[in-house]
Every structure is written in C-alpha cells, then in structure tokens.
C-alpha cells in the first residue's frame, strides 16, 4: 500500500501560470516531509518541512504542511520553462531509526 | 568543491551475478544514502551510512548491502541479481546524519539481462 500519494501524476501549464502539486501521506511517527525537484537524473533539495513547521517559501516556490489532514501542497507561481521537472514528495517517519518513503512524483511540463 | 561522484555510470550484468557500485561524497560530508529509482516504484530509500555505520535501512532484501569507509566513500553491493534490480541507483551525501540537505550524484544505471 502506498504511504505517500502525489497528484496529479502529470501536469502541463503555460509559462506564467501558477500550479499546485499535492502530496498526502499515511505513516506512523511522522517526522518530516520533503519536496525534491528531479531534472534528468539527480534530484535536488528545494526545502524541507519539519514536523513543527507549517509553511516555507523559497522564491516562487512555497509549501504548506497540514499535519492534521496529513497532506502537503507545493505551489509554484509565475512558472518558467526551467520549472519543468518531476517533483517528488518524501516522508520521513519512524521511532528511533527512520524510514524515508517517496511518492511517485508529479511530472510538470511548462510550455512557452 | 567537487560534487558527489558515482562509478560506474552504466553497467550491464546478467541474472545471478553480483555488482558493486561506488560513491564518493562531497569532501567533508560524512553521511551517504543510497536510493533505487525505477519507473514503476519510483524513488526508494535503500540505506544510510554515517561514520562507517549503517544507521537506517529501507525495505529491501538482504541481497542489497553496503558499507562505508573511513574516508566516507561508500559502496553498495547487490548479490544474485534479478531482472527487477534494473534501475538507476542514486547516492546522496550530506554533512551530518539526519540532514536532508542532501546532494545527489548522477547515478549508476544498472541493467540486468
């Protein structure tokens, strides 16, 4: 059973649009949720939401974490073609030693 | 500062063989994590090493193992390869354990025939 579910699976938008990516999770002993951007091969690390954090911003990217409803959203405003990538959501959970599980990702395509 | 390097970049093996992949972290980074990425399962956490000790392990069979050396370089070994092991194997390094400010290497593309 999938512990981390992302939606939509893919998304095509025009430059300048605002997009919202969704990530829901169901784990025990949640610790943190992370969003990654993967272009070509290696993911990068945009920012992390800790268990005590709610909203974070990094330029045109912002995200919120709702620990009660067990989901996070990633917003990208004024999209650019360089934002085209697969966006991965990952959840860290566990007591003592931890597990890290990823969603399948949302493929975002930004067209001029 | 040089990034994370992984060798080899591409590898073709046959079923039943074993394989060793290598990862050199960024200088000064002591934590190395390994991931497997496939189209069907996405990105999955294999294990993390810090100061030559395995700190965390994902849900993979015992055929997958790893180790870390005193210079923080890490190797991952897969024995008795199966077709389903074909994947992109990514290594990521961070300065400390429990730090998700990770820097990923380019990956090793393993194909099992």
Report, as an integer, the average pLDDT of A77-90: 93
Which pLDDT does position A2 carry in this prediction? Answer: 66
Residues of B in contact with A90 (CB under 8 A): 43
Would you state the pLDDT for residue A96? 67
Q: At residue A28, does pLDDT exceed 90?
A: no
Q: Which residue has the higher pLDDT, A74 or B96?
A: A74
A88: closest chain B residue by CA = B43
Quote the pLDDT of residue B1: 61
> How large is the average pLDDT for residues A29-43?
81
Q: How many CB atoms lie within 10 A of CB B101?
A: 13
**CB of B56 within 8 Å of any CB in chain A?**
yes
Q: Supply the pLDDT for residue A47.
A: 57
Contacts with A43 from chain B: Cβ below 8 Å: 43, 90, 104
Q: Which two tokens stand for residue B37?
A: 């990425």
- For B42, nearest residue in chain A (alpha carbons): A104
Residue A50 has pLDDT above 60, yes or no: no
């Amino acid at each position: 059973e999938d512990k981390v579910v992302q939606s939509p699976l893919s998304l095509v938008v025009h430059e300048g649009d605002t997009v919202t990516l969704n990530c829901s999770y169901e784990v025990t002993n949640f610790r943190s949720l992370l969003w990654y951007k993967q272009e070509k091969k290696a993911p990068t690390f945009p920012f992390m939401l800790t268990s005590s954090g709610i909203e974070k911003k990094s330029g045109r990217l912002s995200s919120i974490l709702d620990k009660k409803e067990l989901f996070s959203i990633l917003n990208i405003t004024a999209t650019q073609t360089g934002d085209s990538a697969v966006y991965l959501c990952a959840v860290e959970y566990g007591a003592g030693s931890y597990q890290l599980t990823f969603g399948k990702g949302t493929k975002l395509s930004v067209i001029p | 500062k040089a990034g994370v390097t992984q060798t080899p970049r591409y590898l073709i093996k046959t079923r039943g063989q074993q394989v060793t992949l290598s990862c050199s972290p960024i200088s000064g980074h002591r934590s190395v994590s390994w991931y497997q990425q496939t189209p069907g399962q996405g990105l999955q956490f294999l294990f993390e090493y810090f100061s030559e000790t395995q700190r965390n392990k994902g849900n993979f069979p015992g055929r997958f193992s790893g180790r870390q050396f005193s210079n923080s370089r890490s190797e991952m070994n897969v024995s008795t390869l199966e077709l389903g092991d074909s994947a992109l194997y990514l290594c990521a390094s961070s300065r400390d354990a429990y730090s998700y400010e990770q820097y990923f290497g380019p990956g090793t593309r393993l194909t099992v025939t």
